Structure 1
């Protein structure tokens, strides 16, 4: 598969991760105490991602990594839904499934393992 396509997919995966973090911030903005949740929830999501789901996660593995991704993206979509952004929630969920599914292709996984 074309390396440009592979790196484009990986860039979209990174964008997806940023969108998930932003979704937690959106949900926190609608809750009290806003000043705390608007930054605490995204930091919690980033910490979970770093520890469990990133390619070099210290506690990731063949079972933990995919499970953590499902939980983070699922909760991010649920957070958007609960914040009243149903269309964005569905779009984020579909986008997450598609780009993370593409990232599992062997020709794209090789790019991650080389980096």
Structure 2
């Protein structure tokens, strides 16, 4: 179970990177509000990663039992919408399904205990 747990936690990290990448792709391929794509390609991933750090990460300063799930839904939901907006429908659905599955698995008590043990050490 320990190896499976660490694999799931690694996949959660891959999921976070995929979401940030989706924001970068959307920023590159679109120019929202007249902002050039080269600005959005950096700005959007930084905003997504900052939101994750402040509200959704395991050690988030402003995370909580309500704030953390809301931040996760916003980040993954907007990343999915970004891919959908670019007509990458298959990738959008894949990201959404992958996000739900790996984050759901990460909530299992045995897997959550892995990060709790590491935080107390």
Q: Which bracket does the TM-score occupy, shorter chain normalised?
A: over 0.9
Unaligned runs of 5+ in 1: none
- Write the distance in 1 (CA, Å) between the matches of 2:39 and 2:82: 16
Q: What's the CA shift string for 1:11-54, capped at 9, x where partnerless?
A: 00000000000000010011220110001000000000000000
- Write the distance in 2 (CA, Å) between the matches of 1:38 and 1:26: 7
RMSD of the TM alignment (CA)? 0.6
- Are 1:67 and 2:66 counterparts? no
Work out which of the two has the higher radius of gyration on C-alpha atoms and give 1 or 2.
Answer: 2
Q: Which residue of 2 aligns with 1:12?
A: 11
Instruction: State the secondary structure of the residue aligned to 1:114.
Output: helix
Q: CA shift at 1:83, angstroms?
A: 1.2
- Are 1:38 and 2:37 counterparts? no
Q: Which residue of 1 aligns with 2:57?
A: 54
- Write the distance in 2 (CA, Å) between the matches of 1:83 and 1:29: 11
TM-score (norm 1): 0.97
- Write the distance in 2 (CA, Å) between the matches of 1:35 and 1:53: 27
Instruction: State the secondary structure of the residue aligned to 2:79.
Output: helix
